Amino acid sequence: MISFLLSAVVVPHGITDIILSYETNNYDILSCIYLCIPLVCIYMNDILYKYIFIASSIIHFRHELSPVIPYYIMLNYFVGDVSYNESLNYIVVYLSLIHVPYHYYCIFSSTIYGYEHLSLLIMFTSLSYKITHYFIDWIHIYQGKDKLSKFLGAIILSHIYFNEYLILMD
């Protein structure tokens, strides 16, 4: 179930960055962020990478309808009330039910090219559904400490930083 939610809901919502960059004429910033962040992260110390990922997630979730929910999930993990896998399951469900629908609402309520962007989203979701489970398995095998796992996590960081950049520019 979690793998399905990741590959069919959570991962594809990152494609909206291309939509946003096109709509806001920020494709050069998007390209720079998505090229630089992964290159830096794959060579980063594991502990530093983990802390940057957590801090970036906290910053990203502050814009939510209810930021208390992801903060509560993260806090319960850090104080040891729930395991890593339970915490991951809770955050994926949260992302699928609240974060991603709200993100889509914000994007599609302001876009000019709704049908074109919806088509792009459907194509990317289909692709994500086919290949994401391989990456999820890879990350579990190497426990997120190898270069490919860090690269994939850096794509998430790039999504966060690009969205933060757009919010600052508003």
Please report which confidence band the pLDDT of residue 96 belongs to, taking 50, 70 and 90 as the band edges. Answer: very high
Mean pLDDT for the stretch of residues 103-116: 86
pLDDT tens profile 5-49: 999 999 999 999 998 898 899 999 999 999 999 999 999 999 999
Cβ neighbors of 152 (< 8 A, separation 6 or more) are 135, 139
User: How much of the chain exceeds pLDDT 90, in percent?
Assistant: 61
At residue 80, the pLDDT reads 86
| Long-range contacts at 55-60 (CB < 8 A, ≥ 24 apart) | 56/157, 56/160, 56/161, 57/160, 59/160, 59/164, 60/160, 60/163, 60/164
At residue 115, the pLDDT reads 85
Q: Which domain holds residue 76?
A: 2-169
Q: pTM of the entire structure?
A: 0.89
Lowest mean pLDDT among 37-41, 48-52, 157-161: 48-52
> For residues 64 and 133, what is the distance between their CA atoms, to the nearest angstrom?
27
At residue 84, the pLDDT reads 81
> For residues 66 and 157, what is the distance between their CA atoms, to the nearest angstrom?
21
Count of structural domains within the chain:
1
Please report which confidence band the pLDDT of residue 111 belongs to, taking 50, 70 and 90 as the band edges. Answer: confident
At residue 169, the pLDDT reads 86
| Long-range contacts at 122-126 (CB < 8 A, ≥ 24 apart) | 124/12, 124/15, 125/8, 125/12
> For residues 57 and 60, what is the distance between their CA atoms, to the nearest angstrom?
5
The pLDDT of residue 170 is above 80: no
